[in-house]
Amino acid sequence: MNDFFETVADTIFTCWGEVLKFIGDGVLAIFSVDGDPGDACAAARDAAVEIISALAETTDSTLRCAIGLHVGEVNFGNVGAPDRLDFTVIGSAAAISTRLSDQCKVMEQSQLLSSAV
C-alpha cells in the first residue's frame, strides 16, 4: 500500500495538486482553480495519466487505480465531533468524483472524466 500511496502522492504533488487524505486504499486530492478552471482540469488529467502509467510500470502487477475527475465548487474545512475533527472537502463536485471513481470499477477503466472536465 505504501508503494501505491507514494506513487500516487508524488505524482499529484508534481502536477501541482494537493493530497488531502488517504481513505482506506484511496486518495482524496484537489487541484485548486486559480483563474481558468481548464488549467486545474489539465493538471488533474495529467496527474491521472501519469499515475496510471507509473502503476503499470511497477513490479507489483496487482496495483490498479480508479480515478474520477470532476471540476466544481466545494467547501473545505474541519468537520466532525469536538474530540475528532477531520479536514476534508464537501460538495457535489467531490461526490461526483467519487461516483466516477466507483463507476471506473464497473466499467473496468482506470479513469473517468466528467463532461465538465
- Give the ranges where the chain is alpha helix by DSSP (H): 2-14, 37-56, 92-107
Question: pTM value?
Answer: 0.89
Question: pLDDT tens digits for 15-49?
Answer: 999 999 999 989 999 999 988 999 999 999 999 99
CATH code reported for the domain at 2-113: 3.30.70.1230
Question: What is the structure's pLDDT at 60?
Answer: 67
Spatial neighbors of 31 by CB under 8 A, at least 6 apart, are 15, 16, 17, 18, 40, 41, 43, 44, 47
Encode pLDDT of 81-116 as tens digits: 999 999 999 999 999 999 999 999 999 999 999 999
Sequence-ordered list of residues with C-beta below 8 angstroms from that of 114, at least 6 positions apart, any chain: 68, 69, 70, 71, 96, 97, 100
61 has a pLDDT exceeding 70: no
Q: Output the CA–CA distances (angstroms, integers) from residue 18 to 9, 31, 109, in the order listed.
A: 8, 6, 24
Q: State the Cα–Cα distance between residues 84 and 117, nearest whole angstrom.
A: 34
